[in-house]
Amino acid sequence: MFSFLLNVYRFIKILIKGLKEDTEFRALLIFITILLIGANVFYTQMEGWSIIDALYFSVMTMSTVGYGDLTPTTDISKLFTVIFTFLSIGAFVAFTAKFLNIIFEHNKRKAEKIKQKINNRKQKRQAT
**Within a domain: 7:** no
- In this predicted structure, what is the pLDDT of residue 121? 87
**Within a domain: 2:** no
What gap in Å lies between CA 41 and CA 34, rounded to an integer? 11
Q: Phi and psi dihedrals of 48, rounded to 5?
A: 75, 20
**CA gyration radius for the chain?**
21
Q: What are the CA-CA distances from residue 51 to residues 28, 36, 92 (Å)?
A: 23, 11, 21
**How many beta carbons lie within 10 A of that of residue 59, not counting itself?**
15
Quick one: DSSP state of residue 67? -
**Within a domain: 64:** yes
**Within a domain: 88:** yes
Expressed as residue numbers, the domain containing 61 is 14-126
- What does the pLDDT profile of the chain (128 residues) look like in tens digits? 888 999 899 889 888 988 898 899 999 999 999 999 999 999 999 999 999 999 999 999 999 888 889 999 999 999 999 999 999 999 999 999 999 999 999 899 999 999 998 988 888 888 76
**Within a domain: 3:** no
Burial class of residue 82 (count of CB atoms within 10 Å of its CB; 0-12, 13-18, 19+): exposed
What is the number of domains present in the chain? 1
- In this predicted structure, what is the pLDDT of residue 128? 67
What gap in Å lies between CA 79 and CA 85, rounded to an integer? 10
CATH number at residue 105: 1.10.287.70
**Within a domain: 8:** no
What gap in Å lies between CA 14 and CA 104, rounded to an integer? 10
**Within a domain: 38:** yes
pTM over 0.85: no
- In this predicted structure, what is the pLDDT of residue 120? 87
**Within a domain: 49:** yes
